[in-house]
Structure 1
Amino acid sequence: MSYKIIVDSCGELFDDMKADGRFQSVPLELEVDGYHVVDDESFDQLEFIRRVKESRHSPKSSCPSPQRYVEAYLGEAEHVYVVTLSSKLSGSYNSAELAKKLYLEEHRAKQIHVFDSCSASIGETLIAEKIQESEEAGKSFEEVVAETEKYIKDQQTFFVLETLETLRKNGRLSNLKAWVAGALNIKPVMGATPEGTICQLGQARGMTKALDYMVNEIVKRTKECEKKILSIAHCNCPERAKQVKEKLEKLAKFKDIRIVDTAGVSTMYANNGGVIVAV
């Protein structure tokens, strides 16, 4: 059976995925002080970071419309899989589900499943790769869905941010807490709950100690590392991502570790210097 894997643009795609016609990214849109950006190949990360830093207001994102998803469902593929960022953080999942309903009212010749990643960024990427692995192994549509849903339940996401400004501007953190954290150079180590919300796992003074804390948490919480693929997304800090990779390799043997730069939505939330890890 032919298949297509659709990922909303909060999920970073590796170059080999971009070159594979079976993968498609559906873009969200970003806005800061009237500056509108479509989160696709035209996204200018450095320009967006500059505008966010200079703005007093919170940057905003809007999820893809159902129509965008309907258009993505078109084509010859008989199995269509969609991976969206956590439904607790965005309306992308609901939009994709509504599009599925609308599409199947007119076209009934294919199977479509929408996955709530309960994650974001590189977490979505790993889920998309899991779907492809199952499809390439010759599994049925139902088996691919079941295996991927299990993978999502077992997946873990971690991140450390250089700055709390975007969280503060979005009202997710009080001004006082953000100021104290900034003044004392406190870096929270964050993660995703099984339901797909954000939680704090710990904190440390300074980015180096915070990354060390995150690395130790990853190794402590990950079972059978040698069977797991781990991926790192970084916002404009490739050397920092490389250091995280090297620290992980010293403590555990993963099946593979890959690094990618953040696209638009992840850049908005991670901000300059942020590091996101999923396994």
Structure 2
Amino acid sequence: MRYKIVIDSCGELVEKWKDSPAVERASLTLTVDDEDIIDDDTFDQAYFLKRVAESPNCPKSSCPSPERYMSAYDCEAEHVYAVTLSSELSGSYNSAVLGMNLLKETHPDKKIHVFNSHSASVGQTLIALKIEECEEQGMEFEEVIKKVDAYISEQNTYFVLETLETLRKNGRLSNLKAFVATALKIKPVMGSTPEGTIVQLDQARGMNKAVMKMVDYVVERTPNPAEKVLGISHCNCPARAQAVKEAILERIPVKDVVLLDTAGVSSMYANDGGIIIAM
């Protein structure tokens, strides 16, 4: 096997990866009250969203251990890559780097690289697809790293939330602000910085208007869109995701579209009805 991609479970897997030896998921653990839920193939989104809605507490996540990453790296592949959610949002990146250093103690010549996505969810998916594309073209290890780093630096991530409850529960939004925003049906349009932190870009009254504002940002901030893949993840709202896809494609051409349902960690961030776009 020439290469292997290890992607933490905040990144959604495209269908072809689910049975592929070249792609492995490193699962995070989600905790709602006293219940631990592993973000793997057994994850039940409907059950998780129900538990989150019923709980007065904010759900939490814990990243894969360095030993978990080390075991994923310990394989016959010549080139091994890890793609983690933004180091500003999780300890997954640091854990992946520690796992690499642990393996290199006994396998110093093993070629391993950990990519900090500076993103999450489908943004990670697109990065893994870029690694796959470069490897399938026969690029050398160092050239793949260079190409993918450049891709990450140009990628933008956006999202709109149906509910602000998770932001309220984890203290990022005061109870009063959350109440006023909910009463007025104000929906924030969020995005990521180049460093991988989350910022509010805009807001609108009503989900449909907020989603269309997000589409505006995608269209206006994407140079050479015909050369790029549009990634969309949705949390339990396929019709909304399809509408977003069509709204973008009406205005700009793209190379390809990846449309996925959110996995566990992404479902925790986006919550029921949320939409995430990366491009």
Q: Fold match, TM over 0.5?
A: yes
Question: Quick one: distance in 1 between partners of 2:207 and 2:16?
Answer: 31
Opposite residue 164 of structure 1, the aligned amino acid is L
Give 1:208-227 correspondences, 5 Å limit: 208-227=208-227
For residue 24 of structure 2, what is the aligned residue in structure 1? 24
Q: Does 1:203 align with 2:203?
A: yes
Question: Quick one: distance in 1 between partners of 2:40 and 2:267?
Answer: 13
For residue 53 of structure 1, what is the aligned residue in structure 2? 53
Which SS does the other structure have where 1:19 is aligned? coil
Which SS does the other structure have where 2:187 is aligned? strand
Q: What CA deviation, in whole Å up to 9, does each residue of 1:203-257 have, x standing for no partner? A: 0100100011000110000001111101100000001100000101111111111
CA contact (8 A) 1:77 1:110 kept: no
Question: Quick one: distance in 2 between partners of 1:9 and 1:88?
Answer: 16
Alpha-carbon offset, residue 19 of structure 1:
2.7
Give 1:234-273 correspondences, 5 Å limit: 234-273=234-273
Alpha-carbon offset, residue 109 of structure 1:
4.1
Give 1:99-110 correspondences, 5 Å limit: 99-110=99-110
Question: Quick one: distance in 2 between partners of 1:222 and 1:238?
Answer: 24
Which SS does the other structure have where 1:187 is aligned? strand
For residue 189 of structure 1, what is the aligned residue in structure 2? 189
After TM superposition, where is structure 1 displaced by more than 6 Å over at least 4 residues in a row? none
Opposite residue 115 of structure 1, the aligned amino acid is F
State the percentage of identical aligned residues: 60
For residue 129 of structure 2, what is the aligned residue in structure 1? 129
CA contact (8 A) 1:7 1:128 kept: yes
Question: Quick one: distance in 1 between partners of 2:153 and 2:17?
Answer: 23
For residue 153 of structure 2, what is the aligned residue in structure 1? 153
Question: Quick one: distance in 2 between partners of 1:179 and 1:129?
Answer: 40
Opposite residue 87 of structure 1, the aligned amino acid is S
Question: Quick one: distance in 2 between partners of 1:119 and 1:11?
Answer: 9
Question: Quick one: distance in 1 between partners of 2:121 and 2:83?
Answer: 11
Opposite residue 210 of structure 1, the aligned amino acid is A
Question: Quick one: distance in 2 between partners of 1:145 and 1:30?
Answer: 31
CA contact (8 A) 1:83 1:117 kept: yes
**Once superposed, what is the RMSD of the aligned Cα atoms?**
0.8
Q: Which runs of 5+ in 1 are unaligned?
A: none
Q: What CA deviation, in whole Å up to 9, does each residue of 1:81-124 have, x standing for no partner? A: 00000000000000000111100001234200000000000000
Opposite residue 224 of structure 2, the aligned amino acid is E
For residue 11 of structure 1, what is the aligned residue in structure 2? 11
For residue 91 of structure 1, what is the aligned residue in structure 2? 91
Question: Quick one: distance in 2 between partners of 1:171 and 1:224?
Answer: 38
Q: Does 1:116 align with 2:110?
A: no
Alpha-carbon offset, residue 16 of structure 1:
1.1
Alpha-carbon offset, residue 174 of structure 1:
1.1
Opposite residue 39 of structure 2, the aligned amino acid is D
Opposite residue 235 of structure 1, the aligned amino acid is C
Which SS does the other structure have where 2:230 is aligned? strand
CA contact (8 A) 1:168 1:178 kept: yes
TM-score, normalisation: structure 1: 0.99
Q: How many residues align?
A: 279
Q: Does 1:162 align with 2:162?
A: yes
Q: Does 1:79 align with 2:79?
A: yes
